[in-house]
Amino acid sequence: MADQHGIFLRLCHIRDTEEQVHGKGKGKGKAAVQDVRLSAGVQKLRDSLLGQMYLDQRFETVHFYHQDARSFPIGKVLFQGQPIALAKKNTFDAAHWQKQKKPGWYFGTWPPTCAEDIVGFVDDKHVCFSCKQQEVCECDYELWMDGMQLEMVKTVRLSEVGPGEYGCFARRDIDWYENLGEYTGELRPLKQGRKSLADTQYSAHIMMGPPRPKSVKSGGQAKCNVDATHRGSLFRWLNHSCNANARLSWGRVGMNRRVLVVEAMQPILEGMEITLDYGQEWFKGKHKCWCKSVFCKNPAQPRTTVQA
Ligand SMILES: [Zn+2]
Ligand SMILES: [Zn+2]
């Protein structure tokens, strides 16, 4: 029976066969081998199997695998000893919400009972990420989401940036302002007080509940966390850079779904790492930054030794 591991093994076999054909040894040099050396047929087969590995409807839980430079999966990614599960869309667990106090600027019934109570609304000014229009549209979230899942696997490769550390890399050239897909995770209340690494590194904010009624003249809109610590999309592994080439953007798909997407802020060339700016909050702790950008706000090494 086909399962994720079975497809992984098939991909390993294809990779090994290709390496024998081209007589390439193991080790670091492998990273330099580009797609160019793979026949179109092999590339097609690899991509179709990768899609199946992540998106086959029959798989109950799907885990992430990190990939080599040609996007072949190498092994399951673990975080604190546990595999990370794919969340095609935001998940909701009522237990996280029951004992929470209703936040200010929340205009729905409390507590929320499902993901739709939180993200099943749209905000006036938002653009639809499916049709790119600001006007009322009939785009379907589920349909967009399904298409985007496959697109993400084709656009982004998850690879090691250091031992046990991962990042997202462009599998093709990406355009200005291109939407790369949804940032998903568990919908959880904002944490009060001291925040852990997970609260900033793997979480992003999204507005929650119905938009502020017109009768409420001024004020804000309550937000919650999209927490991708244990489950999420590929974008969970986006690393921080003080000179980031992508950002998170709020918007909607159709008239019943609020979404948070990853958007390119500049052209990103094939092979480049895709990065986000985690914001000031992330630097409050003792985190040092390894982005090596000349704009770095908190370099891990003295600036003078950073630039090659
Ligand atoms: Zn639309
Ligand atoms: Zn930096």
**pTM exceeding the 0.85 threshold for the entire prediction:** yes
Q: How many angstroms separate the alpha carbon of residue 81 from the centre of ligand 2? A: 27
Q: How many angstroms separate the alpha carbon of residue 144 from the centre of ligand 1? A: 10
C-alpha closest to that of 179 among 137, 131, 224: 131
Q: How many angstroms separate the alpha carbon of residue 196 from the centre of ligand 2? A: 19
Closest-approaching ligand to the CA atom of 299: 2
Residues 123, 252 contacting (CB under 8 angstroms): yes
pLDDT band of residue 182 (cuts 50, 70, 90) is very high
Q: How many angstroms separate the alpha carbon of residue 43 from the centre of ligand 1? A: 32
53-110 pLDDT, tens digit each: 999 999 999 999 999 999 999 999 999 899 999 999 999 999 999 999 999 999 999 9
Give the start-to-end residue ranges of the domains of the chain: 1-76, 89-283
Region for 27 from its dihedrals, namely left if φ exceeds 0, alpha if ψ lies in -120 to 50, beta otherwise: left
Which CATH architecture best describes the domain 89-283?
A: Beta Complex (2.170)
Among 17-31, 154-168, 270-284, name the most confident range: 154-168
Beta-sheet strands, E only, within the chain: 65-67, 73-76, 78-79, 82-83, 85-86, 91-92, 156-162, 165-170, 179-182, 186-188, 203-207, 223-227, 231-232, 239-240, 246-252, 258-264, 273-276
Closest-approaching ligand to the CA atom of 301: 2
Q: How many angstroms separate the alpha carbon of residue 132 from the centre of ligand 1? A: 6
